[in-house]
Chains A and B, each alone.
Chain A
């Protein structure tokens, strides 16, 4: 009996996407554990994976992490939504109103060249040690990817699609809603994806500068107490947040920009 080609295909994909990375991870963690114990390395320098796992489950079960996790998530999401909404709106304005471009764009580019991390201390002084300063920092970081990608996307419509619509007497507004907006969506999603990952960084940087709660604050605290395993446990939570948020954006992207095919069975060249 021959295996169904589809089943074979799926098995192949499963091996590639899940089994291989999993095997690599196991090998890495095993090697790490052996390295720490084999060379008798102090847990203060490099904690073993088992110690990190313990700190991780302790932190979660004792409810130690949950408040800080909630604070950081709030900062990330609020900053992301505010920053990307502002980037989106300004992107539309600049792409569609030539005057707005001439007035605003030079300043926005100049603003972008300022490293956001460097203005974090100012934000903390202006907006205090609470969540507001972190939201502002996160928003300034999430802003630019949306702005740049929205502008690029709204300019990406192939000329022949516009000509086609205009030949059927489409108005400017119809050209905008029927093609330009659609053509901009893939770009906007790339912007959202970049912005959401940067937002996590923004919130943590803000908390490093000065905070009373949040995972960044917790990292500093654990570092101060030489609790390396705890620090690593929080790093894992942060990367899980990043992966999770990225996955949500990708999922929405696949739904909404469904016509952009993934590489699939296409030959991309050597």
Chain B
């Protein structure tokens, strides 16, 4: 156990100035897509109380990077995601998207919400096409893509069904297709696989890894599953209970493409254990 133990820590070490063209240096030299500095969020509730949801959140996300966020329920993961999606105002702090101040949603963004949020008067296909319609993109070619995405998540044949005719997990998969249909370069996913059974979930994990590898999107994935976080991420961000702070950022340098078999390797287990230790110390076990 001793010699491989140091492996996870290697990536944190080299500063960007290191000239050695190792793959690790390339990782850290990645162009920064999103710079989150000292972001705070305080909600005002109806009865006049203030809820401190996010506290001094700092994170730089590189272009093409895959980040997983884990943290106990209610720690502000959704809050952070909505702020990044431009649909919720931060209370203070700076967020720069490619050097520019972020102050609203972007066409380059695809969001998977924690609840599917499908429109009940639209068929599955029409729901997936919402971003294309909103952004007035060319319909026919994107409809082709929408059908392909639906087939990818195992929903071909359901294109003309209405959301109420689908199970919760199927609705969630429609929501994932909707986030991908306009081929955004930045994906924000809020527990996208929460409503799926273990088998489908693993399948979707593999699909997401494939999509990410092929299209080099930047992905921010919120998940309750620590193995899922490790399996997919370049770095796993661990948050504390409310007010949500980032307590640890764990680089995962497992080789890619990752396979389901890796779940059983000791390296994988060590990443999971390190993350779980944070949960145990805060008294909230996942």
Which residues of A approach B to under 8 Å, CB–CB?
160-161, 163-170, 174, 178-179, 182, 258-259, 261
Check if B134 sits within 8 Å of A174, measured CB to CB.
Answer: yes
Residue B115, interface by CB 8 Å: yes
Residue B82, interface by CB 8 Å: yes
14 pairs from A and B in contact (CB 8 Å cutoff): A160-B113, A160-B115, A164-B111, A166-B86, A167-B85, A167-B109, A167-B111, A169-B105, A169-B135, A182-B119, A258-B121, A259-B120, A259-B121, A259-B164
Secondary structure call for the A interface:
helix
Q: How far is the CA of A165 from the CA of B120 in the complex (A)?
A: 14
Which residues of B approach A to under 8 Å, CB–CB?
82, 85-87, 104-107, 109, 111, 113, 115, 117, 119-121, 130-131, 133-135, 162, 164, 182
Q: How far is the CA of A45 from the CA of B182 in the complex (A)?
A: 75
Residue of B nearest to A161 (CB): B117
Check if A168 sits within 8 Å of B162, measured CB to CB.
Answer: no
Check if B117 sits within 8 Å of A164, measured CB to CB.
Answer: yes
Check if B135 sits within 8 Å of A167, measured CB to CB.
Answer: no
Q: Which residues of A contact B130 (CB under 8 A)?
A: 164-165, 168, 178
User: How near does chain A come to B149, taking the closest CB pair, in angstroms?
Assistant: 15
- The answer, among B119, B121, B134, B162, for a CB contact under 8 Å with A170, is B134
User: How near does chain B come to A31, taking the closest CB pair, in angstroms?
Assistant: 45
With contacts A259-B162, A259-B164, A261-B164 known, is A166 near B119, CB below 8 A? no
Q: Which residues of B contact A258 (CB under 8 A)?
A: 121
Q: How far is the CA of A163 from the CA of B111 in the complex (A)?
A: 10
Q: Could you say which of B87, B113, B164 has the most chain A C-beta atoms within 10 Å of its C-beta?
A: B87
Q: Which residues of B contact A174 (CB under 8 A)?
A: 134
Q: How far is the CA of A179 from the CA of B127 in the complex (A)?
A: 12
With contacts A179-B119, A182-B121 known, is A168 near B131, CB below 8 A? yes
Q: Could you say which of B86, B130, B133, B134 has the most chain A C-beta atoms within 10 Å of its C-beta?
A: B134
User: How near does chain B come to A180, taking the closest CB pair, in angstroms?
Assistant: 12
Residue of A nearest to B88 (CB): A163
Q: How far is the CA of A142 from the CA of B29 in the complex (A)?
A: 68
Q: Which residues of A contact B117 (CB under 8 A)?
A: 160-161, 163-164
- The answer, among B105, B120, B121, B135, for a CB contact under 8 Å with A166, is B105
Residue of A nearest to B181 (CB): A168
Q: Could you say which of A160, A167, A182, A261 has the most chain B C-beta atoms within 10 Å of its C-beta?
A: A167
User: How near does chain A come to B179, taking the closest CB pair, in angstroms?
Assistant: 9
Check if B121 sits within 8 Å of A169, measured CB to CB.
Answer: no
Check if A163 sits within 8 Å of B121, measured CB to CB.
Answer: no
- The answer, among A164, A169, A179, A259, for a CB contact under 8 Å with B113, is A164
Check if B164 sits within 8 Å of A167, measured CB to CB.
Answer: no
Q: Which residues of B contact A168 (CB under 8 A)?
A: 105, 107, 109, 111, 130-131, 134-135, 182
Further pairs besides A165-B134, A166-B86, A167-B109: 11, Cβ < 8 Å: A160-B113, A163-B82, A163-B87, A166-B87, A166-B105, A168-B105, A168-B135, A169-B134, A169-B135, A259-B121, A259-B164
- The answer, among B87, B115, B133, for a CB contact under 8 Å with A167, is B87
Q: How far is the CA of A168 from the CA of B106 in the complex (A)?
A: 7
Q: Which residues of A contact B85 (CB under 8 A)?
A: 167
Q: Could you say which of B104, B131, B164 has the most chain A C-beta atoms within 10 Å of its C-beta?
A: B131
Residue of B nearest to A182 (CB): B121
Check if A167 sits within 8 Å of B105, measured CB to CB.
Answer: yes
Q: Which residues of A contact B111 (CB under 8 A)?
A: 164, 167-168
